A and B are shown apart, each in its own frame.
Chain A
Amino acid sequence: MAGKVSLSSRAYSVLALHALKHPKLAVSGVLLGRSHADITNAVPLTHVALALAPCIEVALTLIAKHAEQSKEQIVGFYYADARGEKLTSVPPLVAKLGEAAVSAAQASGGDASGVSLLLLDADRAESGATALGLQLFVKGGGQSWTCAGDHSASGASGRLSVGGNPANLVDSYVDENRHERVVDFDDHFEDVEKDWRNAALTD
């Protein structure tokens, strides 16, 4: 699986804003796309309850059903650690989430191979550097997740490329306090009127 993975500007904005809304907490979310190489959207999942499986599974079911409507599928997930340091390996809870995302993808008839995991180092993202602080992990043939490279300033040569000028875009969104408006499933499960699709977030 040596293909490139492209992340849309929208997907990057959503995950970065989610992390910025909860700077002291670990956040996680799901990546949607047409194929595992083409990530078009992100759905924020948790900022508190990553370890609690039942509602995570409900959330994945809801996301998968919603994705069907736009012919998308769950192709990966993202995670930003509470401490904002560069992670060198995938934390166990996150790997478990990965497995759940893979099963959800399989259950809805999608392609589960090559599911991507993006780890975000939120400190670097906040400073608006051209390197976005993203690391791509993939499931190789084996059981473990291995790092397939980071997003670097010279994005084209890396495996991960991100569309548009995402750092500047996110900076401008933060200036407008858009990060306060991010809704994840932890929020939705408190108040179902909160819309986890976040459609207007990147308008």
Chain B
Amino acid sequence: MATSLSLTEVAALKAEISSAKKTSMNSVRRLLTLMRETQRKDAQLVSTHGDAFLKSSAIKPVPDEERFLIYEQVAIAACECGDVEVADRCVSRLESRFPGSIRAGRLRGMVEEASGDIDGARATYAKLLQEHPSSQMVLKRMVAIERTAGDLQSAIKALNHFLNHYMADADGWAELADLYLEAGMHKQAAFCLEELILIQPHTFCHHLRLGETLLSYATNLEEKIVAYKHLCTACELCAGAHPRVLWSLLACVSSMASKKAGASSSGRGGATAAMEEIDVNVARLASKQLKKLYAKADPDLAATAQAAVLDMLGDIPDCLDD
């Protein structure tokens, strides 16, 4: 769990290690441990200093369980920043200690990916899947490898296959939503985000992302109302403290009811119908909150923001806090 205390310590250690002339191996070991616990990433730092740690005498007293976790951690970091030689060395060590291990096998595949040998990696994962056909770890690599190879459609197919078996995997739904958004398939992304919300209903950024996704393709009022509801939920869940939520909410209200944003004044789905769905108090509160947040920002930026809000909501009755 990433507590604020541990994150502060991570930041302090990072600063110390980056600036020190002679790096303290104790600090490196502590940082590596904290980064595993808090799931923070800093690939270059971990790869460079982790590798130095593993080569130093400081590794000797480290108990086996921790030692091999460090090898894995450094291997993954090294793959991420292309330090293939470092990664290869770490993985070889793990393979010799744990022959036939699927965890080591997956790391071997990642090294192959990092060195550009996509076909080799595919073969490695395929072989692992033969022995362990339901391995979540390997199934996820099958998705990642398609993304590495730039084949968005294959990645989507592979991830759909994974989610058919593991439909409660929140990360999987979030990743699939990302893939669909990258492919410009907003409706499908919205479906994934809805599944994600079923699993994690109190996470504000899921509601925010769904609201923004819906708004990105909504053409009629009904669709925009759903977006509006999710953005209101996001606002409630983050206690109105997040700028992106506030801006998205104002953009939604503007899109529904402002003539400037193209809402027609009459007819089904027009601005008048929209006004019955929107609670003006919500819009007023959101714009007031935004003003409060911008009070801490540069005055020029605050003024520009204020002008933009006026543009967006100015012609909607009672929406602005004056």
User: Which A positions have Cβ atoms within 8 angstroms of B?
Assistant: 24, 49, 51-55, 57-58, 61-62, 65-66, 83, 85, 92-93, 96, 188-193, 195-197
Residues of A within 8 A of B248 (CB): 54-55
For B295, the closest partner residue in chain A by CB is A192
Q: Are B216 and A58 in contact (CB under 8 A)?
A: no
Q: Are B297 and A52 in contact (CB under 8 A)?
A: no
Residues of B within 8 A of A52 (CB): 181, 209, 212-213, 216
Partner of A192, one of B80, B186, B301: B301
5 contacts between A and B (CB under 8 A): A53-B216, A54-B247, A61-B308, A65-B308, A66-B304
Residues of B within 8 A of A57 (CB): 251
Known A-B contacts A52-B181, A53-B216; the reply to A58 vs B307 at CB < 8 A is no
CB distance from A23 to the nearest CB of B (A): 9
A-B pair number, CB within 8 angstroms? 76
When chains A and B are docked, how far (Å) is the Cα of A197 from the Cα of B298? 11
For B260, the closest partner residue in chain A by CB is A107
Known A-B contacts A51-B181, A58-B251; the reply to A190 vs B304 at CB < 8 A is no
When chains A and B are docked, how far (Å) is the Cα of A65 from the Cα of B310? 12
When chains A and B are docked, how far (Å) is the Cα of A51 from the Cα of B188? 13
Partner of B247, one of A53, A66, A189, A191: A189
Given A51-B186, A192-B296, A192-B301, 17 other A-B contacts at CB below 8 A?
A49-B212, A51-B184, A54-B216, A54-B255, A55-B212, A57-B251, A58-B250, A61-B311, A65-B308, A85-B150, A92-B184, A93-B182, A188-B243, A189-B244, A190-B244, A193-B298, A196-B301
Residues of A within 8 A of B294 (CB): 192
Partner of A189, one of B213, B243, B307: B243
Residues of B within 8 A of A196 (CB): 301
Query: In the complex, which residues 280-322 of chain B have their Cβ closer than 8 Å to any Cβ of chain A?
Result: 293-294, 296-298, 300-301, 304-305, 307-308, 311-312
B143 within 8 A of A: no
Main secondary structure of the interface of B (DSSP, over half): helix
Residues of A within 8 A of B104 (CB): none
B87 within 8 A of A: no
When chains A and B are docked, how far (Å) is the Cα of A87 from the Cα of B69? 39
- How many residues of B sit at the interface, in one of the four size bands? 20 to 34
When chains A and B are docked, how far (Å) is the Cα of A193 from the Cα of B297? 4
Q: Are A53 and B212 in contact (CB under 8 A)?
A: yes
CB distance from B246 to the nearest CB of A (A): 9
CB distance from A55 to the nearest CB of B (A): 6
Residues of B within 8 A of A192 (CB): 243, 293-294, 296-297, 301, 305
0 or 1 for each of B236-256: is its CB under 8 Å from A? (1 = yes) = 000000111001101110010
CB distance from B300 to the nearest CB of A (A): 8
* Residue from A57, A96, A197 whose CB has the most chain B CB atoms within 10 Å: A57
Q: Are B252 and A54 in contact (CB under 8 A)?
A: yes
When chains A and B are docked, how far (Å) is the Cα of A57 from the Cα of B261? 11
Residues of A within 8 A of B186 (CB): 51
When chains A and B are docked, how far (Å) is the Cα of A129 from the Cα of B80? 24
B77 within 8 A of A: no
CB distance from B313 to the nearest CB of A (A): 12
Residues of A within 8 A of B311 (CB): 61
Q: Are A51 and B308 in contact (CB under 8 A)?
A: no
0 or 1 for each of B215-251: is its CB under 8 Å from A? (1 = yes) = 1100000000000000000000000001110011011
Known A-B contacts A189-B243, A189-B247, A192-B296; the reply to A53 vs B305 at CB < 8 A is no
When chains A and B are docked, how far (Å) is the Cα of A54 from the Cα of B234? 15
CB distance from A96 to the nearest CB of B (A): 8
Known A-B contacts A65-B308, A192-B297, A193-B297; the reply to A51 vs B182 at CB < 8 A is yes
Residues of B within 8 A of A66 (CB): 300, 304
Known A-B contacts A62-B308, A195-B301; the reply to A55 vs B247 at CB < 8 A is yes
When chains A and B are docked, how far (Å) is the Cα of A53 from the Cα of B80? 30
When chains A and B are docked, how far (Å) is the Cα of A149 from the Cα of B297? 41
Residues of B within 8 A of A197 (CB): 301
Q: Are A51 and B216 in contact (CB under 8 A)?
A: yes
Known A-B contacts A189-B244, A193-B297; the reply to A54 vs B215 at CB < 8 A is yes
When chains A and B are docked, how far (Å) is the Cα of A191 from the Cα of B241? 10
CB distance from A177 to the nearest CB of B (A): 10
Partner of A191, one of B212, B243, B255, B305: B243
CB distance from B183 to the nearest CB of A (A): 9
